[in-house]
């Protein structure tokens, strides 16, 4: 279960609200363990997870995803459905326990609309005149207006920052999932680089990466792979471009395992690395090391960015990226973002990605992205591959 229950209660109480209402797919999963496929395919669709301070939580989901709710094993027991389920039900004494639970759940009375069910659940818990922090991150204006109309006396406040803060510190289970996703990403990256040679296409490396990730039980979130001058493109989607001897090969890769993300970026050279490549790599590594040194409980995110920026400027990188990393977890790019002026305090148990690109259009690109766990003393690297140029 992702939810850090003890911390959630502490932060809800500190925020002075009576409940948190999650409306986005990622935050609903974080609170309830239920992952809505429909919401990802059609963002306008609705589900809700209600987490009160002093009452039982509730999950509101479409009846068409009753199988996903049951198979999620959600810790929330009060589950309400809306809509219809257009399937036949046959008696089968040998049916599995899960199938029978889905059948039983599908027989429950379902509401007509999600907002009607939400209003009922909020009212039942005595929250109809209380203060609720609502997740506005992906809430459409129409949905927001309907919720306020159905619950006119609720004192809604923006709960996006509260949910971001809650997710920022990971439980041991979350850390294990991120670690495994990272290991899959790194292994699959090295499998892809094994086949790199002159005349091979970016698409060939992409295909090997995707195959290796699937073989290890992961799912690819993105694979940016650029050869030669395309290594400097910010988002090099794999193409039919063939590698030539001496080319830089930049890989920025992401996968998920058990709902959690792993990201890594590395650069390779098809042949011998020039002195200029070595020089620019040293700038990136120095910037990363400076960022690592600043990461500790009580430090500010802005200090981490400033430390990396200082080394990049010293190394001649005048166009420093506005973003030099981010949190990582259920979402690939989570709060906090490593940006200038981000006055967020680092806490033990956070997992951060420090991502330092050196992109020079017309010359090429080098990038190093690593994941670290914030400990009491500083950081622990969660990536295991060498932080250097791969020579192929």
Mean pLDDT of the chain: 94
Q: Residue 249's pLDDT is what?
A: 98
Among the residue ranges 87-96, 151-160, 277-286, the one predicted with the least confidence is 87-96
Distance, in Å, from the CA atom of 44 to the CA atom of 138, rounded to the nearest integer, reads: 9
Distance, in Å, from the CA atom of 103 to the CA atom of 345, rounded to the nearest integer, reads: 47
Nearest one of 178, 167, 143, 132 to 39, comparing CA atoms = 143
Distance, in Å, from the CA atom of 30 to the CA atom of 27, rounded to the nearest integer, reads: 5
The answer to whether residues 252 and 325 touch, using CB atoms and an 8 Å cutoff, is: no
In total, the chain counts a number of residues equal to: 392
Mean pLDDT of 264-286: 95
Q: Residue 4's pLDDT is what?
A: 86
* pLDDT band, residue 97 (cuts 50/70/90): confident
Q: Is the peptide bond before 336 cis (omega within 30 degrees of 0)?
A: yes
Question: At residue 363, what are phi and psi to the nearest 5 degrees?
Answer: -110, -55
92: pLDDT strictly greater than 90 = no
The answer to whether residues 147 and 122 touch, using CB atoms and an 8 Å cutoff, is: no
- Would you state the torsion angle of the CA atoms of residues 165, 168, 174, 175, taken in this order, to the nearest 10 degrees? -160
Q: What is the pLDDT of residues 286-312, one digit of tens each?
A: 999 999 999 999 999 999 999 999 999
* pLDDT band, residue 254 (cuts 50/70/90): very high
Q: Residue 346's pLDDT is what?
A: 97
Mean pLDDT of 46-57: 94
Q: State both tokens at 362.
A: 């017309």
Q: Residue 318's pLDDT is what?
A: 77
Count of H-run helices and E-run strands, the chain: 12, 15
pLDDT > 90 fraction of the chain, expressed in percent and rounded? 84
Q: Residue 138's pLDDT is what?
A: 80
Domains of the chain listed by start with CATH number = 5-167 (3.40.350.10), 172-391 (3.90.230.10)
Q: Return the higher-pLDDT residue of 42 and 8.
A: 8
Q: Residue 45's pLDDT is what?
A: 83
Q: What is the pLDDT of residues 209-245, one digit of tens each?
A: 999 999 999 999 999 999 999 999 999 999 999 999 9
112: pLDDT strictly greater than 90 = no
Alpha helices in 234-297, H assignment, sequence order: 275-294
Residue 128 to residues 54, 75, 106, 121, Cα–Cα distance (Å): 14, 24, 28, 9
Q: What is the pLDDT of residues 7-24, one digit of tens each?
A: 999 999 999 999 999 999
Beta-ladder partners of 350: 169
91: pLDDT strictly greater than 80 = no
**Three-state DSSP class for 89?**
coil
* pLDDT band, residue 98 (cuts 50/70/90): confident
Rg (Cα) of the chain, in Å, rounded?
24
Residue 257 to residues 89, 261, 287, 296, 317, Cα–Cα distance (Å): 33, 7, 29, 27, 35
Distance, in Å, from the CA atom of 100 to the CA atom of 91, rounded to the nearest integer, reads: 9
Among the residue ranges 33-37, 59-63, 91-95, 157-161, the one predicted with the least confidence is 91-95
Q: Residue 87's pLDDT is what?
A: 81
Nearest one of 328, 361, 327, 319 to 344, comparing CA atoms = 327
Q: Residue 153's pLDDT is what?
A: 96
DSSP 19: E
Distance of CA 56 to the CA centre of its chain: 27
Range among 39-43, 118-122, 319-323 rated most confident: 118-122
Mean pLDDT of 319-332: 92
Nearest one of 355, 343, 351, 347 to 303, comparing CA atoms = 343
Q: What is the pLDDT of residues 127-176, one digit of tens each?
A: 999 999 999 988 888 889 999 999 999 999 999 999 999 999 999 999 99
The sign of the torsion formed by the CA atoms of 148, 151, 155, 156 equals negative
Q: What is the SS3 assignment for 124-165?
A: HCCCCCCEEEECCCCCCHHHHHHHHHHCCCCEEEECHHHHHH
Q: Residue 100's pLDDT is what?
A: 83
């Amino acid at each position: 279960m992702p939810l850090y229950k003890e911390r959630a209660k502490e932060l809800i109480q500190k925020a002075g609200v009576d409940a948190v209402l999650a409306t986005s797919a990622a935050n609903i999963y974080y609170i309830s363990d239920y992952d809505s496929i429909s919401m990802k395919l059609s963002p306008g669709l609705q589900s809700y997870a209600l987490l009160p301070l002093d009452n039982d939580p509730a999950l509101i989901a479409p009846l068409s995803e009753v199988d996903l709710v049951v198979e999620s094993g959600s810790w929330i027991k009060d589950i309400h459905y809306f809509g219809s389920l257009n399937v036949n039900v046959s008696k089968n004494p040998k049916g599995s326990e899960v199938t029978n639970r889905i059948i039983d759940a599908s027989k429950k009375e379902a509401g007509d609309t999600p907002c009607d069910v939400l209003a009922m659940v909020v009212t039942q818990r005595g929250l109809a005149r209380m203060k609720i922090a609502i997740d506005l991150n992906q809430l459409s204006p129409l949905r927001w207006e309907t919720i306020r109309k159905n619950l006119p006396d609720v004192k809604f406040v923006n709960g996006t920052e509260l949910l971001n803060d809650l997710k920022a510190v990971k439980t041991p289970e979350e850390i294990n999932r991120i670690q495994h996703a990272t290991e899959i990403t790194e292994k699959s990256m090295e499998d892809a680089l094994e086949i790199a040679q002159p005349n091979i296409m970016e698409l060939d490396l992409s295909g090997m990466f995707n195959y290796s990730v699937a073989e290890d039980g992961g799912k690819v979130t993105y694979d940016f792979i650029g050869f030669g001058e395309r290594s400097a493109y910010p988002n090099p989607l794999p193409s039919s471009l063939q590698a030539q001897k001496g080319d830089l090969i930049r890989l920025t890769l992401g996968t998920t395992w058990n709902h959690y993300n792993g990201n890594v970026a590395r650069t390779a050279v098809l042949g011998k690395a020039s002195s200029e490549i070595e020089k620019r790599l040293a700038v990136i590594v120095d910037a990363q090391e400076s960022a690592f040194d600043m990461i500790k409980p009580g430090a500010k995110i802005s200090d981490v960015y400033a430390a990396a920026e200082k080394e990049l400027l010293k190394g001649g990188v005048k166009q420093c990226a506005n973003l030099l990393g981010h949190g990582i977890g259920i979402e690939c790019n989570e709060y906090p973002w490593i940006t200038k002026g981000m006055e967020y305090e680092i806490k033990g148990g956070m997992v951060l990605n420090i991502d330092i690109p050196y992109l020079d259009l017309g010359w090429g690109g080098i990038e190093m992205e690593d994941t670290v766990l914030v400990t009491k003393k500083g950081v622990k690297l969660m990536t295991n591959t060498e932080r250097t140029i791969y020579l192929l």
